[in-house]
Amino acid sequence: MAGHNRQNRHIRIERSGMFGHSKGMNRRNAHRTDMSRMKRMTPGRLWNRRWLPCLITSFVTVLGAFAQEAAQSLESWDAIFISGKRVGAVHTKVTPLEEKGKKYFRVEVTTNLSFKRLNDTVTMRQRFGTIETAEGEVLRLDTRTNSGGGEIRTFGDVQESGELLLTMEGNGQNRNATVPWGKDVRGPYAVEQSLARKKIAEGEERELKSYVPDLNKIITIKLMARKSEPIELGGGVKRDLLRVDSKVTTTEGSHIPELDTTYWVDEGGQILKTFTDAFGGYTTYRTTKESAEAPVGNERLDLLASSIIKTASRINASETVRQGKYTLKTTDLDLKGLIPDDIRQKTTLAEDGKSGTLEVTTQDRMSGPEGPETVAEEYLAASPLVNSDDERIQDVATTATRGVAGDWLKVVALNNWVSRNIRRKNFAVAFAPASTVVRSLSGDCTEHSVLLAALCRAAGIPAKTVVGLVYVDSLGGFGFHMWNEVYVNRRWVAVDATFRQTEVDATHIKLGESSLSTVAPYETFLSVVRVFNRLAIEPTDVQ
């Protein structure tokens, strides 16, 4: 673990990892059709039950040479449904361990998902693990992400000093972070552990702290036990289960509504059903191993189609729109701060934050006031996802800009190169690092964006990724999308390699941005999850 002491609280972990041996890490432009635009946008990242983490990971963990299993493992299986359609299952395994007379637990949570994105089927797997004391105190965590193009690993040990030393590594890059910790902080399995260890009574409230590695945040979970109610568990089976609602906030008190979950708990503290109001309803049911491992079937959820924000009025030739005015409406969101204001877009909201207008104007490379001469190093640095120091990326950046003078013309050349060369447009890969994309030359808008960011950084030009919405002509609404901003002429300028645009049209609505250089690069997708099936957009004046 780069720069970190691998020994912690008498637990010896081999360098190969904590659990199981790891396998090597090994819009259009003017002439493109509506289908081209549709094929390249993304519905965002899917989240699973354990805080619906925005990474869907392939994770392998082992205890190395450390401990002996002290007793039989406990296992459970839960089926996952999104918008009423089964998409996969969660397998949880808790194994007692013992070393030098001390008792520990290894907690492993494995999630398998399968769904459609238009004509492509996406299959994802996540395994997350912790080593914990008998009291539930986290000593170590380890997660590995494989979204179809190389492994990203995030792992760390809790130190005696009260800090978590965290490392994200992958594709030849490392990123380190220090997270203030406490003995009361639990892992992503915190709610299940709390309810199983001590029965919660009707009317009782309970507060927990849990660490979410995908966001690199410690969150506070407030559990509120309601009343028992009859719950349909499938197969005609009904049971009276205690309803427990949760409210999730940051440690500073900011609400994270997309993580709020309702649990239905039996007399033994086992969670038999959960519901999270995301993606049209994210539900899990306790089931058997056989049912959990059964094939999902042909009626898979089409996550992309279900994510489209339909509009009553169509926008014709959306790639030519230079100015757009839109009405925004929601019933249960606070739009304040959700859609950022910048040089391209400005919101005017009602007092309650549930409605308003948005104005978007196409900008060129010289629009707006000048900024500082330099920007933060993270927008130039190589990272596990934007690995701009990769040999092939360096070669492409050099070749594509040979003989080109000035940063802006280099951006244009690189933007055109990505647009021309990613020929296999598909949704089969969830999120590939730039080094994979530059070799496979396939993917959707996320791959275009990540590769362009890496090429720009390799050419010495600061670049970030942007997530948001774009109008999809053929689907008659706004879909989730990813593009870039580059820092030239002392300004952040929007460009879109997916649609070969260097002046991004005014149907692009920005929700968030990221350098993808931190140990929690997926945090920016929270804004996408937040508006899923909750935001209405209607064009009122587009030119």
Residue of 7 and 162 predicted with greater confidence: 162
Mean pLDDT of 17-28: 38
pLDDT at 419: 95
Helix (H, G, I), strand (E, B) or coil at 293: helix
Helix (H, G, I), strand (E, B) or coil at 415: helix
For residues 249-284, one letter each, b for 16 or more C-beta atoms within 10 angstroms of the residue's C-beta and e for the rest, the string is beeeeeebbbbbbbbbbbeebebbbbbbbbbbebbb
pLDDT at 28: 37
- Which pLDDT band, with edges at 50, 70 and 90, does 78 fall under? very high
Mean pLDDT of all residues belonging to the chain:
81
Residue-wise pLDDT for 509-520, tens only, equals 999 999 988 656
Residue-wise pLDDT for 255-289, tens only, equals 888 889 999 999 999 999 999 987 778 899 999 99
pLDDT at 262: 97
For residues 486-508, one letter each, b for 16 or more C-beta atoms within 10 angstroms of the residue's C-beta and e for the rest, the string is bbbbebbbbbbbbbbbbebbbbb
Domains of the chain as residue ranges with CATH: 7-293 (no CATH), 318-542 (3.10.620.30)
Mean pLDDT of 222-241: 92
Lowest mean pLDDT across 58-67, 77-86, 284-293 = 58-67
Highest mean pLDDT among 55-64, 248-257, 326-335, 463-472: 463-472
Residues 166/177, Cβ–Cβ less than 8 Å: yes
Residues 384/170, Cβ–Cβ less than 8 Å: yes
Half-sphere exposure of 27 (CA within 13 A, CB side): 31
Angle at 398 between CA 397 and CA 399, to 5 degrees: 95
Sign of torsion, CA 390 392 393 395?
Answer: positive
Q: Report d(CA 357, CA 355) in Å as an integer.
A: 7
Q: Convert 267-288 into a string of H (helix), E (strand) and C (coil).
A: CCCCEEEEEECCCCCEEEEEEC
Place of tokens 């309970």: 206
Q: Given 3-state DSSP classes, what are the helix, strand and coil percentages for the chain, each rounded to the nearest 5?
A: 15, 40, 40
Place of tokens 């099936």: 533
Share of the chain above pLDDT 90, in %: 50
pLDDT at 188: 79
Considering the entire predicted model, what is its pTM?
0.75
Q: Report d(CA 335, CA 212) in Å as an integer.
A: 24
pLDDT at 29: 38
Q: Report d(CA 114, CA 146) in Å as an integer.
A: 15
Share of the chain above pLDDT 70, in %: 80
